[in-house]
Amino acid sequence: MRHSLRHRRRLLAFTLVELLVVLGIIALMTTLALPSAQSMILKARSLQCSTHLKSIGMAASQAATDNNGQYPEIDQAAAPIYPPNSGATNLIGALGPYGITTNTIQCPIDMSSGTSSFKTYGSSYEWNPAFDDESTAAPVYYRSANQPIPVNNTHVRLCTDFLPIHRGKMNAVYGDGHATAH
């Protein structure tokens, strides 16, 4: 009787080899699925980043409306280009009144990276001052003082990531309000 019970238990239980094989298969499948899962996570974060950029674009547009239709003067966080007394300020300073907060200028991927621009420059996003004070209706890029190049608003890149952290590319918001998510 006792012998038969043991035998039955043996038949019902998994052997170590069976368990290891199952675990191995699970581990292999996890390994294979990891890159695509990671890719989906990155894409979701990139979309969130793109939403932040869109908010910045909308705020800039509102600021321009209050500034005779001209883009506001916002200084570069990586290397200031305006003199200290020029009145140019940072993203929060210029667009804070239009709803931009510290949370808006944080890209989720940038915040989780080891080379976070937010930690280095105080913002995950870089404003492009090349179009500051330019009319939103007909912006011009000055390659040289006597070589103005009219630029379509769809090409006016207002704000981008500092680094190509979205799978080797940078998200950006443009003068016409569209934003990219890579």
Partner 1 sequence: MPRNRLYLAGGILAFLLVANFIYYFIMGWGLITVKVHDVPLSKVIKSIEWQGWVKIYSNIDPTARVTMYVDHVSLPEALEALAINVEIPPSAQETTASPPASDGSNGNNPGRRNGGGGFGRGRVQWNLAFFAGSSSSQVRELIRSFEHGDTDDNLKTYNYPTLVNFLQTSTEDDAAPPVADPRQQNWPGLKAQVIPVSTAAAPAPDPAMPPQIGESAPPQQVPPGPPTSVQGYLRAFAQSADIFIVSNSSWDPPVANPPSADSSIISAIRNFVGSNHGSVTQAYVLATRGRGPRNDGGRRGGFAGDWDTAEDRVRNALNGLPEDVRNNALTQLNQEIKFRKDVEAAPPERRASMVEEHMKARMADNLNGGPMARMSPEKRAQRYQRAVENRMAAQGK
**Contact criterion met (CB below 8 Å) for 73 and 93:** no
Cβ count within 10 A of residue 7? 10
Q: Which listed residue (28, 29, 37, 138) binds partner 1 by CB under 8 A?
A: 28
Q: Which listed residue (48, 76, 89, 153) binds partner 1 by CB under 8 A?
A: 76
144 binds partner 1 (CB under 8 A): yes
Contact positions with partner 1 (CB under 8 A) in 45-74: none
128 binds partner 1 (CB under 8 A): yes
Identify which of 78, 72, 77 has the alpha carbon closest to the alpha carbon of residue 96.
72
In the complex, minimum distance from the CB of residue 1 to partner 1, in angstroms, rounded to a whole number:
26
Q: Which listed residue (82, 96, 108, 177) binds partner 1 by CB under 8 A?
A: 82
How far is residue 181's CA from residue 40's CA, in Å, rounded to a whole number?
A: 13
How far is residue 59's CA from residue 102's CA, in Å, rounded to a whole number?
A: 14
The distance from CA 67 to its chain's CA centroid, rounded to whole angstroms, is: 27
Angle of CA points 40, 182, 51, to nearest 5°: 90
Query: Based on CB atoms, which residue is closest to partner 1, 20 or 99?
Result: 20
83 binds partner 1 (CB under 8 A): no
Contact positions with partner 1 (CB under 8 A) in 156-175: 157, 160, 162-165, 168-172, 174
